[in-house]
Amino acid sequence: MNSPVLRVDDLHVWFDLPHGQELHAVQGVSLELAAGERFGLVGESGCGKTTTILALMGLLPSSASVSGAVELDGYDLLADGEESMRPHRWKDIAMVFQGAMNALNPVQTVGAQVVEPMAFHGIADGDEAKVRAGELLEMVGIGADRADRYPHEFSGGMRQRAAIAMALACEPKVLLADEPTTALDVMVQAQILELLTGLSEDLGLTLVFVTHDIPVIAELCDRAAVMYAGEIVEEGPVDALYHEPLHPYTRLLFGAIPDPLGEKDVISIPGAPPRLDREIVGCPFNPRCDVAFERCVDQRPKLLQLGDRRRAACHRNDPASEAAS
């Protein structure tokens, strides 16, 4: 892989809980993303996907503590917390939020909201910015003449398109998308996905796509990471995750996809993810795992590099434990 655009190293996020407790939401995530790559981040809800990408932009509430590094072109955005992050927001990393219904300010026109970051980051000003905003709206399939409309006058799909246009305003290198198609109907979902694919190809955007919807990842992404209990348990090309999963969770998760022919029932994984407000002993997936053995109960597996482009955190891949099974 050529030198990464975005490198995340040992990222941890904790949230304060009442009575002095803590919730360890992200437990040491490391990632490397190449330019123009489309990367998926999947897992059940509550596994830390959203927290991870919010941390990439430093958009965490004051109850959060963070450690680790988020490097963009070799520069550590997290070095000084929010302050070192702020100048790079939107200019280098932008984001499309879950449910664009509420991501747009209801009392400002859509155009004004696309113009705002351009003007603020010194990309374009005045009429020039307005023209550019019109172009961006055209690019996502909204007529430039609708820039002076308010968000409530748009349909859900159009609002999401407008949010994407807004995210592209400062020509970011990395675009984070947090479940951008939930709450949209299937037709519109497909259109938005197509739009994102096209944009990343045309503009050379690095796209990080967060979802619990596996088929979406299959359609859109080159590579993906599976998160469980705040950590990455497996990472690799999407094809490989599908056909030769190295972690039982990946196997069950990707197996849970409804069969296109509708012959098999949807499989859901029995049990629930572990609580993150106490320390996890052993493999976090072990209580739900169908192939667990003694070592899984008291020893936490490390994320091992397996071959050229794959990593997984399961004792079964460790040659040392081969004998035990």
Element (H, E) at 12: strand 6-16
Measured from the CB atom, is 54 or 195 closer to another protein? 54
Out of 3, 17, 75, 102, name the contact with another protein by CB under 8 A.
102
Does residue number 28 form part of the binding site for another protein (CB under 8 A)?
A: yes
Among the listed ranges 33-41, 91-99, 191-199, 236-244, the one in contact with another protein (CB under 8 A) is 91-99
Reading the block at residue 238, the tokens are: 């999407």
Spatial distance between the Cα atoms of 278 and 259, rounded to a whole number of angstroms: 37
Q: Whose structure tokens read 């995210």?
A: 167
Identify which range of 10-18, 136-144, 214-222, 289-297 contacts another protein by CB under 8 A.
Answer: 10-18
By CB under 8 A, name the one of 32, 71, 116, 219 that touches another protein: 116
Is residue 94 close enough to count as binding another protein by CB under 8 A? yes
Spatial CB neighbours of 306, under 8 Å, sequence gap ≥ 6? 246, 312, 317
By the rule CB under 8 A, 66 interacts with another protein: yes
Q: How far is the CB of 89 from another protein (least distance, A)?
A: 3
Between 3 and 63, whose beta carbon lies closer to another protein?
Answer: 63
Calpha distance 70→275 (Å, rounded): 26
Per-residue contact flags (x/-) with another protein for residues 165 to 194, judged by CB under 8 A: -x----------------------------
Task: State which of residues 60, 140, 210, 269 lies at the interface with another protein (CB under 8 A).
Answer: 60
Residue of the chain from 40, 43, 111, 117 that contacts another protein (CB under 8 A): 117
- Using CB atoms within 10 Å of the CB of residue 146, give its burial: 0 to 12 exposed, 13 to 18 middle, 19+ buried: middle
Piece of 116-124, 212-220, 247-255, 286-294 that binds another protein (CB under 8 A): 116-124
- Could you please report the per-residue DSSP string of 157-192? HHHHHHHHHHHTTT--SEEEEESTTTTS-HHHHHHH
Query: Is residue 152 at the binding interface for another protein, with CB under 8 A as the rule?
Result: yes
* Min CB(262)–another protein separation in Å: 31
* Minimum distance of another protein from residue 45's CB (angstroms): 17
Stretch that binds another protein, among 82-90, 198-206, 267-275, 286-294 (CB under 8 A): 82-90
Composition of the chain by helix, strand, coil, percent to 5: 35, 25, 40
Task: Report the distance separating Cα 80 and Cα 71, nearest Å.
Answer: 12
Binding of residue 45 to another protein (CB under 8 A): no
- The CA distance from 212 to 317, in Å, is 25
Q: What is the DSSP string of 221-289?
A: -SEEEEEETTEEEEEEEHHHHHHS-SSHHHHHHHHTSPPTTS-SPPP--SS-PPPSSS---S-TTGGG-
Q: Is 27 in the site for another protein (CB under 8 A)?
A: yes
- Across the strands, what pairs with 70? 8
Q: Which of 95, 196, 216, 238 binds another protein (CB under 8 A)?
A: 95
**Residue 304 binds another protein (CB under 8 A):** no
Which of 38, 91, 173, 247 contacts another protein by CB under 8 A?
91
Report the C-alpha gap between 263 and 317 in whole angstroms.
Answer: 32
Structure tokens at 96: 């499309």
How far apart are the C-alpha atoms of 46 and 229, rounded to whole Å? 8
**Which residues sit at the interface with another protein, rule CB under 8 A?**
10, 12, 14, 27-28, 57-69, 78, 80-83, 86-91, 94-95, 97, 99, 102-108, 116-117, 120-121, 150, 152, 163, 166, 231, 300, 302
